[in-house]
A and B are shown apart, each in its own frame.
Chain A
Amino acid sequence: MHLNATTTYNSMQTDMSAIDLTLPSSSLFNFQISRDRDNDLVAFGLPRMQCANVSVYYDSKLAVDDVNLKILRNEVLALIGPSGCGKSTLLRCLNRMNDTIQGCRVSGKITLDDQDIYASDMDVVPLRVRVGMVFQKPNPFPKSIYDNIAMAPRLHGLASTKAEFDEIVETSLRRAGLWDEVKDRLKQAGTGLSGGQQQRLCIARTIAVNPEVILMDEPCSALDPIATAKIEQLIDELRKQYTIVIVTHSMQQAARVSQRTAFFHLGKIIEVGATEKIFTNPSEELTERYITGHFG
């Protein structure tokens, strides 16, 4: 787990420097990133993202085994399962964070609104804007709180005037429930915030570019119950506009925030279903054993 966190953290850094080098080029975008996305254009009930026969290898080690999964719009989907079962690996596939991991091979098909995200003409930079990610360990950039939020919108040309940036910063921080705590010190370093504040800053940063899907990998594992509650409240609000996939080790958290839950075991999806059903009357014996704490 420690290894994973470090790997993802490093790959994130690599990506950001990659962006720095190639920016700013509007030709980068294969598709439009609009600030006011018209939700109605996508029919209800159609999956936002879809994994078909997805397998992931690290060298010769199979980490995700032939996974089929639909991620519906405006839902919070929780991924649960024992440590090492491949949750983070699958999550990273959804915005191609695995690309940067040596020896990692992904097969099968993953689509975002029917676009194959592994297609050769798919540009990962805008993909990662559309599918944003929040990591287990808060990883603010070593910059001011303001710049932490404003950087990505600047990179992607989502705003041009100071007033526009100010608005993005304020709205994002407000939505992340952090505005009141930091509004008087926006010029101070983001790394100077508490763990819970940093995590909300990272969430604010993620939503600043108005993504369509937000991936969260154990976002509350380092947080106290109040900070956790704030983030869960935020997740619930974000759901109205975005689609969220959250990996969590806390079954209570999965039960609290998600509408559907997928249970993973040894790289396979054992069961996906309505969260209430999974936690009261799952169909699979293995799920039952896991949620009741009969495992291993």
Chain B
Amino acid sequence: MNSIFGHHTIHQFDEELKALHNQIIEMGELVLNQLCLSLESVKYMDLSLAQGIIDREKVVDEMEVSADKTICAILVRRCPKGSDLRQVLSASKIVNCLEQIGDKVVKLANFVVLMHTTEQVNTHYFSLEDIYRLGGVSTEIVQSALEAFEDMDVEQARQVVQYHLTLDQEFQKALHHLIDFLQAEKSNVNNTVSQVLMMKALERIGEHARQIAELVIYQLEGQEPTHHLPDLVEDFPVDGL
């Protein structure tokens, strides 16, 4: 950790890089917190909690703008090279990933608000365990990716990339359940669509967290992130929604 902010001949540059790192940690903490709360708001259909999350999205956006400014200033003032350049490039992309996670979190919260404003509020029609399980995995991935970033831990980053595969499996499993649910006429089309959208949001959140982990690896080792094609699940055409 110390080594990445080792001493530049220009000390102020060390400070700027450290400040950028901390800015991202702070943004990450807020986004992770929003994610946890959104899952709770879904669980308890808690309207005020959901509205709080939507309000706080402004703060996430402000943090993104502020991090972008820091990045821009470093690029202009320091023309970073080598690992410094990789740090700034990664930072810029990670901020973007966090902002995307924030957006998806708001989608989840919006859903709670929607449930309260429509007549047919009935969570009975949802297979909520699937949402919780998927949410649990996503949260873990986000948390672990942020830890890998905070400690600049390449091993942990690799584990995140690996662990992300679980999320795909959970997503597929949840889809199967949902279809069963629908076929048994325990759910209606409206609810099913809502549920798929929520599941997809959680799946995207995990995907953004995986990207964060890959950017940590890039920053530390200079290895370009790979672009994964989604694994084809042979017998299941619904994959790739």
Give chain A's interface residues, CB within 8 Å of chain B.
Answer: 251-252, 255, 279-282, 287-288, 291-296
Contact = CB atoms under 8 A, between A and B. Distances in A.
B7 interface: yes
Contacts of B81: 251, 255, 279-280, 291-293
A288 B84 CA distance: 9
A294 B85 contact: no
Contact of B222 (A255, A281, A296): A281
B83 A288 contact: yes
Nearest to B80: A292
A296 B83 contact: no
Contact of B84 (A287, A292, A296): A292
B78 to A, nearest CB: 8
Interface in B69-90: 79-86
A252 B222 CA distance: 20
Given A251-B81, A281-B86, A292-B84, 13 more contacts: A252-B79, A279-B82, A280-B81, A280-B85, A292-B8, A292-B80, A292-B83, A293-B9, A293-B13, A293-B81, A294-B7, A294-B8, A295-B9
A294 B222 contact: no
Interface residues of B, number: 15
Contacts of B9: 293-296
Contacts of A280: 81-82, 85-86, 222
A295 B81 CA distance: 13
A293 B82 CA distance: 10
A150 to B, nearest CB: 41
Contacts of A291: 81-82
B154 to A, nearest CB: 14
Interface string B1-40: 0000011111001000000000000000000000000000
30 contacts: A251-B81, A252-B79, A255-B81, A279-B81, A279-B82, A279-B85, A280-B81, A280-B82, A280-B85, A280-B86, A280-B222, A281-B86, A281-B222, A282-B82, A287-B82, A288-B82, A288-B83, A291-B81, A291-B82, A292-B80, A292-B81, A292-B83, A292-B84, A293-B8, A293-B13, A294-B6, A294-B7, A294-B9, A295-B9, A296-B9
Give the interface centre of B80, B82, B84 by most chain A CB atoms within 10 Å: B82
A293 B10 contact: yes
A188 B80 CA distance: 44
B79 A292 contact: no
Interface in B121-163: none
Nearest to A288: B82
A251 B84 CA distance: 14
Give the interface centre of A255, A279, A280, A292 by most chain B CB atoms within 10 Å: A292
Contacts of A252: 79
A292 B6 CA distance: 10
B208 to A, nearest CB: 24
A287 B85 CA distance: 14
Contacts of A288: 82-83
A252 B10 CA distance: 17
A252 B85 CA distance: 13
A67 to B, nearest CB: 23
A115 B79 CA distance: 41
Interface in B167-181: none
B1 to A, nearest CB: 16
A294 B172 CA distance: 49
A37 B149 CA distance: 56
A288 B4 CA distance: 12
Contacts of A287: 82
B224 to A, nearest CB: 9
Contacts of B79: 251-252
